[in-house]
């Protein structure tokens, strides 16, 4: 082992301003997250322009805080990492400009990171023994992919959503139920008091053998159910709708991920992204994994949702692979997994 590598990472792709100091891709020295949820929830979702302004106001303070909490000075940092996409263009640009200025000022490498790769890498921090290859479900507000992680930084997409992302479906149904934003955690909580078998919502498994997802039929079915109950003047049980909807999402995600792990000879089925924080998904997957001989892994909730530590982990492996960026690094709002940043 050579000298340890300390990376300062910055994440501003959506509504969390975050900075972290990560050692050798696996150890968090600090992970400071400032969420804008309270600001955006008034609007029922993220307002891009407001997000950019808030990142701009906060980012320097958050970086300072991350260095202080990590017990390091800027001069001790070996490289600066930043999310370059996917995400909101204005929001990404704030992180990018900050990271470029810092890297330039200390004359250290700049490493652009794919946000989805960051979500997967959160598992390297949580599970020190985890190494590729393995199969991973990345489910967030913008993405739902089943990915085979072939090696560090090398991915094969096995399946993805054909319409809404899983988190997006949670957010839309939560809004229809009047629960607020972001919907995932609110449905998760509400569902705990409901009956998951009260309403028989559809499960879209698609063609035989497919690892793709589709949540639009389920979403329409839940919205139709709410409308028809209102028209008939019947009382709606919000916990039952939340639990039944969540169960339909969880069943499809779990079944497809475990099947992908079995069919690709992966010992592990790994979860990542905001939806990986869902308590029912974690429970159902663990249970299904036990039945089929697959070890299910997921990060702590704080590492599931957006944070800079996961970017610092992904950046370390990028650096080892020689993927260093230069100051022309730009925002890539539509970057997909496996594309170079
Ligand atoms: O990864 P993330 O923080 O941001 C994106 O990259 O999109 O994911 C946010 C998404 C939101 O849609 C949110 O509702 C969902 O993750 N989410 C959850 C839970 N916590 C966050 N969905 C279901 N259950 C949860 N506990
Ligand atoms: Zn994310």
pLDDT, averaged per 10 consecutive residues of the chain (341 residues), comes to 90 96 98 92 89 96 98 98 97 98 98 98 98 98 96 97 96 95 96 98 96 97 97 97 98 98 98 98 98 98 98 98 96 91 84
d(CA 168, CA 145): 13
Range(s) of the chain covered by CATH 3.30.420.40: 6-121+303-320, 132-299
Q: CA-to-CA distance for 145 and 126, rounded, in angstroms? A: 20
Q: What share of the chain in percent tops pLDDT 90?
A: 94
From the CA atom positions of the chain, what is the Rg in Å?
Answer: 20
Give the Cα separation of 94 and 96 in Å (integer): 5
Angle of helix 166-176 relative to helix 183-191, nearest 10 degrees, comes to 70
Predicted local distance difference test score (pLDDT) of residue 44: 85
Residues 6+ apart with CB under 8 A from 325: 84, 109, 110, 111, 112, 341
Give me the sign of the Cα torsion angle 96, 102, 106, 111: negative
The pLDDT value recorded for residue 208 is: 94
* Structural domain 6-121+303-320, CATH architecture: 2-Layer Sandwich (3.30)
Q: 59-96 burial, b for 16+ CB within 10 Å, e for fewer?
A: beebbeebbebbebeeeebbbbbbbbbbbbbbbbbbbb
Evaluate whether 329 touches 109 at the Cβ level (below 8 Å): no
Evaluate whether 272 touches 136 at the Cβ level (below 8 Å): yes
Tell me the C-alpha distance between 52 and 255, whole Å. Answer: 38
d(CA 281, CA 93): 33
Measured in Å, residue 106 CA sits from the centre of ligand 1 at 35
How many angstroms is it from 339 CA to the middle of ligand 1? 23
Asked if residue 278 has its Cβ within 6 Å of ligand 1, the reply is yes
pLDDT of 1 reads 58
Entry pTM: 0.96
CA-proximal residue: ligand 1, atom 1 (nearest)? 274
Atom of ligand 1 nearest to the CA of 246: 23
Residue whose CA is at the smallest distance from ligand 1 atom 16: 274
Q: State which of 48, 115, 121, 170 you would mutate to test the pocket of ligand 1, scoring each by most atoms of that ligand within 8 A of its C-beta.
A: 170
Task: Decide: 112 in ligand 1 pocket, CB within 6 A.
Answer: no
**Is the CB of residue 88 below 6 angstroms from any atom belonging to ligand 1?**
no
Q: Which ligand has the shortest distance to the CA of 311?
A: 2
Q: Is 11 in the pocket of ligand 1 (CB under 6 A)?
A: no
- CATH architecture of the domain with range 132-299: 2-Layer Sandwich (3.30)
Question: By CB neighbour count within 10 A (0-12 exposed, 13-18 middle, 19+ buried), where does 26 fall?
Answer: middle
Q: Ligand 1 pocket test: pick from 40, 92, 115, 275 the residue with the most ligand atoms within 8 Å of its Cβ.
A: 275
- Length of the chain, in residues: 341
Give the whole-angstrom CA distance, residue 275 versus residue 301: 9
pLDDT at residue 3 in the model: 85
* Ligand 1 atom nearest 279 alpha carbon: 26
């Amino acid at each position: 082992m050579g000298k340890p590598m300390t990376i300062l990472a910055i994440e501003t792709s959506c509504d969390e301003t975050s900075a972290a100091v990560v050692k050798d891709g696996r150890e968090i020295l600090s992970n400071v997250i400032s969420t804008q949820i309270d600001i955006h929830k008034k609007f029922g979702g993220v307002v891009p322009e407001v997000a950019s302004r808030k990142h701009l106001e906060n980012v320097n303070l958050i970086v300072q805080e991350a260095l202080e909490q990590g017990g390091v000075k800027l001069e001790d940092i070996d490289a600066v990492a930043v999310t370059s996409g996917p995400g909101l263009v204005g929001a990404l640009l704030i992180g990018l400009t900050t990271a470029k200025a810092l890297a330039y000022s200390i004359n250290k490498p700049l490493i652009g990171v794919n946000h989805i790769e960051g979500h997967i890498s959160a598992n390297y921090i949580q599970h020190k023994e985890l190494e590729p290859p393995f199969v991973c479900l990345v489910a967030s507000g913008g993405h739902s992919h089943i990915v085979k992680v072939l090696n560090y930084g090398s991915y094969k997409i096995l399946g993805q959503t054909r319409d809404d992302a899983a988190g997006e479906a949670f957010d839309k149904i939560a809004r229809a139920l009047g629960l607020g934003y972001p919907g995932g955690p609110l449905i998760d909580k509400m569902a705990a008091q409901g009956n998951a078998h009260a309403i028989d919502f559809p499960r879209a498994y698609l063609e035989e053998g497919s690892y793709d997802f589709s949540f639009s039929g389920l979403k329409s079915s839940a919205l139709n159910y709410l409308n028809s109950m209102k028209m008939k003047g019947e009382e709606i049980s919000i916990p039952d709708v939340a639990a039944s909807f969540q169960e339909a999402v969880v069943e499809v995600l779990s079944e497809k991920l475990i099947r992908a792990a079995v069919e690709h000879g992966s010992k592990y089925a790994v979860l990542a992204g905001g939806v990986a924080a869902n308590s029912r998904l974690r429970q159902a997957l663990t249970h299904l994994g036990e039945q089929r001989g697959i070890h299910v892994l997921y990060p702590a909730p704080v590492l599931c949702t957006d944070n800079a530590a996961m970017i610092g982990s992904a950046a370390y492996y990028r650096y080892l692979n020689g993927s260093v960026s230069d100051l022309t690094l730009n925002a890539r709002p539509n970057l997909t997994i496996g594309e170079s940043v």
